Structure 1
Amino acid sequence: ADIGDIVRGKDHFLGTNEEKKPLEENLKNIFRKLYNELTKEEENGTAIKSRYTKDDPDFYQLREDWWALNRDQVWKALTCEAYGTYFRHTCCTGTRTNDKCRCNDDQVPTYFDYVPQYLR
């Protein structure tokens, strides 16, 4: 599994319920707090409520949207200070990302995000 799958609730984690349940409950609580905070604003609150109202209690759509907006920041947080060559040959063009954490077209090299887990 990767972080994107976990955040989006698409992880095929085969561990025990004792391991899986606390993680999932924590994610639900985090995204419930985010939803509550976003819907406080009168200006955007109605639009946000209409988009995510059917999403409770798991908030899968909110998780998808959050991941789409923040995956590059998560990638930077995980890899930009990771020295060595583990993430360096990951751009589609075969070019190196060399300490820049990004491909030449300014994209993060996380192009496997939306490939189903069983195919990776």
Structure 2
Amino acid sequence: ACAPYRRLSLCNKNLVKMDTNNNDGKAKHDLLLDVCMAAKYEGESLNTYSAQYDLKYPSSGSSFTMCTMLARSFADIGDIVRGRDLYLGKKKKKQKGKKTKTKKNHLKKNLQIFFKNILDKLDDSIKSNYKDAPYYYNLQKNWWTANRKTVGKALTCRAK
């Protein structure tokens, strides 16, 4: 099985390039901005991929190809943010004496840093609900639930 066109480029945008060195206390806002920018670019890119999808799968005959692609991209973004992404990513070539890295691993590390920064700014009474460091799956899930509508708007704002 291959990753669909829309999925191959999703992590190449803002999600991998997030700046995690910003410790000004705005991690949750910075994360939302980066996720929304990636969603916006993803929605725009689907305009070109829909033609390729229609050529590759002519029997689908659906007039809702774009809607399906948007829904799947939205699910992919949600899976990435919540730490449930199954796509392994392309491996970079090994450098002498160094481990092979994937964009997924880089993204996973960035998300851990962001969610640690978000957790650090929460009240102690709230922090006690999130004892799953260093992965922060519960915090990631709650962040996604709180921000999914905003991300959805960003994804669909430029899609045709």
Q: Return the TM-score normalized by structure 1.
A: 0.58
Please report how far the alpha carbon of residue 82 of structure 1 lies from its aligned counterpart in structure 2 after TM superposition: 1.8
Paired-residue identity, %: 46
Instruction: List alignment gaps of at least 5 residues for structure 1.
Output: 39-44, 85-120
Q: Which has the higher contact order (CA 8 A, sep 6+)?
A: 2
Paired positions, count: 76
Matched, 1:50 2:134: no
For 1:1-120, list aligned pairs within 5 A. 2-15=76-89, 16=91, 17-38=101-122, 45-52=123-130, 54-79=131-156, 81-84=157-160
Query: How far apart are the structure 2 equivalents of 1:75 and 1:64?
Result: 16
Query: How far apart are the structure 2 equivalents of 1:49 and 1:27?
Result: 17
Please report how far the alpha carbon of residue 37 of structure 1 lies from its aligned counterpart in structure 2 after TM superposition: 1.3
Please report how far the alpha carbon of residue 50 of structure 1 lies from its aligned counterpart in structure 2 after TM superposition: 1.2
Shift in alpha-carbon separation, 1:11–1:83, aligned structure 2, 3 A: closer
Shift in alpha-carbon separation, 1:82–1:62, aligned structure 2, 3 A: same
Q: Return the TM-score normalized by structure 2.
A: 0.44
Query: How far apart are the structure 1 equivalents of 2:88 and 2:109?
Result: 16
Equivalent position SS for 2:84: coil
Please report how far the alpha carbon of residue 73 of structure 1 lies from its aligned counterpart in structure 2 after TM superposition: 0.6
Please report how far the alpha carbon of residue 83 of structure 1 lies from its aligned counterpart in structure 2 after TM superposition: 4.5
Please report how far the alpha carbon of residue 51 of structure 1 lies from its aligned counterpart in structure 2 after TM superposition: 0.1
Name the structure where helix makes up a greater proportion of residues: 2
